[in-house]
């Protein structure tokens, strides 16, 4: 409702709202007026909106009115008759005389400049009404990014079926690994009070093709499967439905015990299966288009089929069977490592899952994180990709920046995701990229997907910072098409979010493109990983080595001692490399030939190991950490050049974050090098210094109130 009122308000007072300060709430859907000359040109092709009415078409119409109203400073009215310059919304059910291409995907669309009833028009036709909505957003984005809307002939459809945000939101409002305030979901007051923001959330997602939302944390409470909570979820589902978004829930595997009073949750027990069947039936009476379950099982203390000596496939299939009659699916996570297993953590998921290839039901997807450890600033691609050809594998990225500086550090994640998606598994010879594994084309799978751990909270700007909105946006673009280029996404987002001013675009895009590498440099360069302080993962903690389980300790990952540093994952070490195809592993086998960005991930090398620069590794480490700090300082200076070119509210917010980032980058560099020097006992190369703070002093810095704790 609020959204509708807002639209009316914008239409009436668009000039007034344009003058308002910006707080980031509008995301990439700001719809600021285009220049008058160009606007006139666009207007001739947007004289009226001709459309039928379904809940989704109504949304498409509203968004076009809101968008064009802002961009062209006057919204075209809806009409039933085709006239010159009309935008005609067509579906197979109501094609308005337009020949919709045969076989157009349900979610696909065509945008074409053509003639209908003798009138020049723009048709936005969908394989169904949701395709029209996606087409409407694409059409608006053309104007937002100042492309022509003349002579259009665009056809597109998503390459992946499930494009899902995973909210790690607890029922008490805390967001695990959330840095943007508390949960959007007001579980306490739902279903009676339905926050008007849900409409805006849905519109933002639909604009980038996201079609699913898992509402609750993977570390799930069974309570979300009780009737009162299902009714709350249903209220959210009702808002999201017209935007083509389905609701999913994380399911706690022990729910039959927790809620049903059964003595076991053994997936092979008929009473357990019957409990889940009844639960699934109940869910679908409350949420008829419920998407399905996301499951974290036998991982970090969560219950699972392993508790009964059953496989992941047995657990997943039992749930899948309950959902199947209703068309639901299971996303079963492969993020597992055992508390009792001394095997290299990077190897454990593969060891547990790969042997079950081919055993999963056809409505199960195995959801795999991009790397084998845990969303680090840089990891090689997960060896499971391509290694289970008879299993539907989906990607899990983390949009929220648990390990990349929370929402205060500027790090555009798309280049990291692109690096993984374009990595070659060689599973079926050269060109078997991870993108081809997950889009189903490599092994002929039809059910495909990508999940992103959301970075959304109740902060006014949704993501905790303006630049973190780019990561939400980029996730949607990759889920739509995993072969998209990160630079192209950055440019579109910049134009839509900041400005089309060439100076702004040419300043922001390169800054974004280099930002993730800067984080790698000042946090975990040269293949290092998981040096973050323990628990909250805020700031450096390379010295941590005393925690109960080995893999909780950063020292486990870097293995630095007097002689050298790095994790030997070759044959002389854990041989995690053996989990990759020989061709994929080849460039990483020998330390001397390994891409230095992955060196210490795969190799333990002496401090005087000679790097490509000619420097010994120790010196290179110092230089690279320092470079990371310099890169952040450079970003700060670059940003300062935009003062006056963008609104002061967002300018200042970004500037404040960059100041924090610069300070923290320096802390990362100083603390890590101080610690590593205490181990390596080597002098710093000429020209480099440390502040003289001891490891003990760094260690004493504690942050009991860091946000997003697990």
CA-based nearest residue to 104, from 128, 69, 75: 128
Marked catalytic residue, from 186, 352, 402, 419: 402
Figure out which of the listed residues 177, 232, 324, 401 binds ligand BDP, where binding follows CB under 6 A: 177
Give 139 or 375: the residue with its C-beta nearer to ligand BDP: 375
Give which of 81, 45, 91, 84 is closest to 64, Cα–Cα.
45
User: How far is Cα 139 from Cα 152, in angstroms, rounded to an integer?
Assistant: 10
Q: How far is the CB of 525 from ligand BDP (least distance, A)?
A: 21
DSSP assignment string, 298-316: SSTT---GGGGT--HHHHH
Give the tokens for residue 673. 């090098």
Q: Which of 35, 117, 227, 300 is catalytic?
A: 300
Q: Tell me which of 29, 104, 218, 413 binds ligand BDP, using CB under 6 A.
A: 218
CB of 299 to ligand BDP, least distance (A): 6
Query: Could you tell me which stretch among 294-302, 339-347, 593-601, 611-619 binds ligand BDP (CB under 6 A)?
Result: 294-302
Query: Is 402 a catalytic site residue?
Result: yes
Among 62, 296, 312, 669, binds ligand BDP (CB under 6 A): 296
CA pair distance 506, 186, nearest whole angstrom:
40
Q: Kindly determine how many residues on this chain lie close enough to bind ligand BDP according to the rule CB under 6 A.
A: 12
Whether 166 is catalytic is no
Other C-beta atoms within 10 Å of 611: how many? 19
Q: Judge contact between 107 and 211, C-beta under 8 A.
A: yes
Pick from 375, 522, 588, 668 the residue near ligand BDP by CB under 6 A: 375
User: What is the x/- site pattern for ligand BDP, positions 640-669, by CB under 6 A?
Assistant: ------------------------------
For ligand BDP, give the closer residue by CB, 26 or 166. 166
Nearer to ligand BDP by C-beta: 218 or 287?
218
Residue 195 lies near ligand BDP (rule: CB under 6 A): no
Contact with ligand BDP (CB under 6 A) among 335, 360, 473, 478: 335
The 298-317 site mask, x for binding ligand BDP (CB under 6 A), equals -xx-----------------
Q: With binding defined as CB under 6 A, does residue 468 bind ligand BDP?
A: no
Q: Which is nearer to ligand BDP, 254 or 461 (CB)?
A: 254
Decide whether 183 or 461 has the Cβ nearer to ligand BDP.
183
Distances, alpha carbon 83 to alpha carbons 86, 99, 116, 473, 674, in Å: 6, 18, 9, 35, 72
Select the span of 19-27, 251-259, 292-300, 605-613 touching ligand BDP (CB under 6 A).
Answer: 292-300
Residue 219 binding ligand BDP, by CB under 6 A: yes
Helix or strand run (H / E) with residue 115: strand 109-116
* Ramachandran sector of residue 3 (left: φ over 0; alpha: ψ -120 to 50; beta: rest): alpha
Out of 352, 402, 419, 670, point to the residue binding ligand BDP (CB under 6 A): 402
- Compute the least distance from the CB of residue 439 to ligand BDP, in Å: 23
CB of 544 to ligand BDP, least distance (A): 15
User: Which residue among the candidates 22, 374, 551, 619 is catalytic per the annotation?
Assistant: 374
Q: Give strand pairing partners of 171.
A: none
- 174 in contact with ligand BDP (CB under 6 A): no
**28 makes contact with ligand BDP (CB under 6 A):** no
Contacting ligand BDP within 315-334 (CB under 6 A): none
Considering beta carbons, is residue 472 or 625 the nearer one to ligand BDP? Answer: 472
> In whole angstroms, what is the distance from residue 123 CA to residue 116 CA?
9
Nearer to ligand BDP by Cβ, of 538 and 618: the residue is 538
Q: How far is residue 685's CA from residue 674's CA, in Å, rounded to a whole number?
A: 13
Give the binding range for ligand BDP (CB under 6 A) out of 296-304, 354-362, 442-450, 622-630.
296-304
| Closest separation in Å from C-beta 355 to ligand BDP | 22
Secondary element (H or E) of residue 244: none
Binding piece for ligand BDP, criterion CB under 6 A, among 67-75, 266-274, 295-303, 436-444: 295-303
CB of 166 to ligand BDP, least distance (A): 9
CB atoms within 10 A of CB 158: 22
The neighbouring-strand residues paired with 610 are 616
Convert 488-514 into a string of H (helix), E (strand) and C (coil).
HHHHHHHHHHCCCCHHHHHHHHHHHHH
Tell me the closest approach of the beta carbon of residue 335 to ligand BDP, in angstroms: 5
Which residue, 206 or 528, is less far from ligand BDP as judged by CB? 528
Where do the DSSP E strands lie in 312-391?
329-333, 364-369
We find the least distance from the C-beta atom of residue 625 to ligand BDP, in angstroms, to be: 24
Strand residue runs (E) in 167-316: 212-214, 246-250, 292-295
Distance separating alpha carbons of residues 695 and 255, to the nearest angstrom: 45
Using an 8 Å Cβ cutoff, are 410 and 467 in contact? yes
Q: Which of 21, 22, 27 is nearest to 469 (CA)?
A: 27
Q: Which residue's CB comes closest to ligand BDP? A: 710
Comparing CB distances to ligand BDP, the nearer of 172 and 590 is 172
Contact between 710 and ligand BDP (CB under 6 A)?
yes
Q: Which residue blocks in 423-581 are alpha helix, DSSP H?
A: 434-438, 468-480, 486-497, 502-523, 554-558
* Measured CA distances, 42 to 68, 73, 80, 186, 610 (Å): 9, 11, 21, 41, 59
For residue 295, the minimal CB distance to ligand BDP (Å) is: 11
Of 51 and 370, the one with the shorter C-beta distance to ligand BDP is 370
Q: Which one of 161, 374, 491, 619 is in contact with ligand BDP (CB under 6 A)?
A: 374
Phi, psi of 211 (to 5 degrees): -130, 20
Of 293-301, 426-434, 460-468, 617-625, the window that binds ligand BDP (rule: CB under 6 A) is 293-301
Count, residues in the chain = 710
Whether 300 is a known active-site residue: answer yes
Could you give the dihedral angle defined by the CA atoms of residues 551, 554, 560 and 561, in that order, rounded to the nearest 10 degrees?
Answer: -80
Using the 8-state DSSP alphabet, how is residue 325 labeled? G
CB of 555 to ligand BDP, least distance (A): 18
Strand order across the 109-116 sheet = 77-79, 48-50, 86-90, 119-126, 109-116, 153-156
176 binds ligand BDP (CB under 6 A): yes
Q: What is the rounded CA–CA span in Å between residue 623 and residue 684?
A: 9
Distance CA 478, CA 649 (A): 30
Looking up tokens 């197979």, which residue turns up? 92
Binding flags for ligand BDP, 504-533, as an x/- string (CB under 6 A): ------------------------------
164 three-class SS: strand
Give the whole-angstrom CA distance, residue 547 versus residue 709: 17
CB of 233 to ligand BDP, least distance (A): 21
Rounded Cα–Cα distance for residues 379 and 368 (Å): 13
Nearest 5 degrees, angle CA 360-CA 250-CA 374? 80
Catalytic residues: 300, 374, 402
Residue ranges binding ligand BDP (CB under 6 A): 176-177, 218-219, 296, 299-300, 335, 374-375, 402, 710
């Amino acid at each position: 409702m609020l959204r509708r009122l807002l639209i009316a308000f914008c239409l009436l007072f668009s000039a007034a709202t344009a003058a308002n300060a910006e707080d980031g709430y509008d995301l990439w859907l700001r719809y600021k007026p285009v220049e008058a000359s160009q606007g006139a040109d666009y207007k001739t092709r947007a004289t009226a909106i001709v459309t039928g009415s379904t809940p989704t078409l109504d949304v498409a119409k509203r968004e076009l009115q809101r968008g064009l109203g802002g961009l062209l400073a006057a919204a075209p009215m809806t009409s039933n008759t085709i006239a010159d310059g009309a935008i005609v919304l067509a579906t197979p059910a109501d094609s308005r005389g337009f020949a919709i291409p045969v076989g157009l995907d349900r979610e696909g669309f065509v945008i074409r400049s053509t003639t209908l009833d003798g009138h020049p028009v723009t048709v936005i036709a969908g394989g169904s009404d949701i395709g029209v909505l996606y087409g409407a957003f694409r059409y608006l984005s053309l104007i937002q990014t100042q492309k022509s809307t003349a002579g259009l002939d665009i056809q597109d459809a998503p390459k992946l079926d499930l494009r899902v945000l995973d909210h790690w939101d607890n029922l008490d409002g805390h967001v695990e690994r959330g840095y943007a305030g508390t949960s959007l979901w007001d579980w306490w007051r739902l279903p009676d009070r339905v926050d008007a923001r849900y409409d805006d959330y849905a519109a933002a997602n639909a604009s980038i093709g996201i079609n699913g939302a898992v509402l609750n944390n993977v570390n799930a409470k069974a309570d979300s499967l009780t009737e009162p909570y299902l009714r709350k979820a249903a209220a959210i589902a009702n808002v999201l439905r017209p935007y083509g978004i389905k609701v999913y829930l994380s399911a706690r595997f022990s729910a039959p015990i927790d809620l049903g009073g059964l003595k076991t949750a053994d997936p092979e027990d008929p009473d357990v299966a019957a409990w889940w069947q009844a639960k699934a039936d109940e869910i679908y009476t409350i949420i008829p288009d419920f998407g399905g379950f996301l499951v974290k099982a036998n991982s970090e203390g969560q219950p699972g089929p392993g508790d009964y000596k059953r496989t992941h496939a047995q657990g997943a299939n039992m749930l899948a069977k309950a959902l199947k009659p209703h068309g639901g699916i299971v996303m079963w996570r492969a993020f597992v490592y055992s508390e009792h297993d001394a095997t290299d953590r990077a190897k454990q998921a593969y060891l547990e899952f790969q042997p079950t290839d081919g055993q999963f039901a056809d409505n199960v997807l195995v959801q795999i994180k991009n790397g084998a450890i845990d969303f680090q600033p840089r990891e090689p691609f997960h060896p499971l990709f391509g290694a289970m050809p008879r299993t539907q594998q989906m990607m899990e990225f983390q949009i929220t920046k648990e390990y990349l500086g929370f929402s205060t550090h500027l790090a555009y994640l798309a280049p990291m995701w692109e690096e993984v998606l374009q990595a070659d598994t060689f599973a079926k010879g050269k060109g078997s990229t991870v993108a081809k594994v997950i889009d189903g084309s490599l092994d002929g799978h039809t059910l495909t997907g990508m999940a992103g751990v959301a970075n959304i909270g109740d902060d006014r700007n949704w993501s905790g910072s303006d630049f973190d909105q780019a990561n939400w946006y980029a996730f949607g673009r990759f889920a739509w098409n995993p072969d998209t280029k990160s630079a192209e996404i950055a440019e579109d987002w910049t134009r839509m979010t900041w400005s089309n001013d060439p100076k702004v675009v040419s300043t922001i895009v390169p800054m974004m493109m280099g930002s993730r590498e800067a984080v790698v440099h000042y946090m975990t360069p040269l293949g290092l990983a998981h040096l973050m302080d323990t628990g909250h993962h805020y700031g450096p903690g390379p010295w941590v080595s005393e925690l109960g389980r080995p893999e909780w300790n950063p020292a486990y990952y870097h293995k630095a001692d007097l002689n050298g540093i790095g994790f030997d994952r070759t044959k002389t070490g854990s041989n995690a490399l053996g989990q990759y195809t020989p061709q994929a592993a080849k460039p990483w086998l020998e330390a001397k030939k390994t891409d230095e960005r992955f060196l210490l991930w795969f190799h333990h090398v002496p401090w005087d190991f000679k790097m490509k620069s000619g420097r010994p590794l120790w010196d290179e480490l110092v230089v690279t950490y320092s470079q990371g700090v310099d890169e952040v300082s450079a970003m700060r200076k670059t940003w300062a050049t935009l003062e006056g070119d963008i609104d002061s509210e967002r300018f200042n917010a970004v500037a404040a974050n960059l100041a924090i980032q610069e300070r923290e980058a320096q802390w990362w560099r100083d603390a890590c090098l101080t610690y590593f020097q205490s181990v390596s006992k080597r002098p710093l190369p000429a020209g480099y210094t440390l502040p003289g703070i001891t490891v003990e002093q760094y260690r004493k810095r504690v942050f009991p109130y860091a946000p997003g704790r697990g």
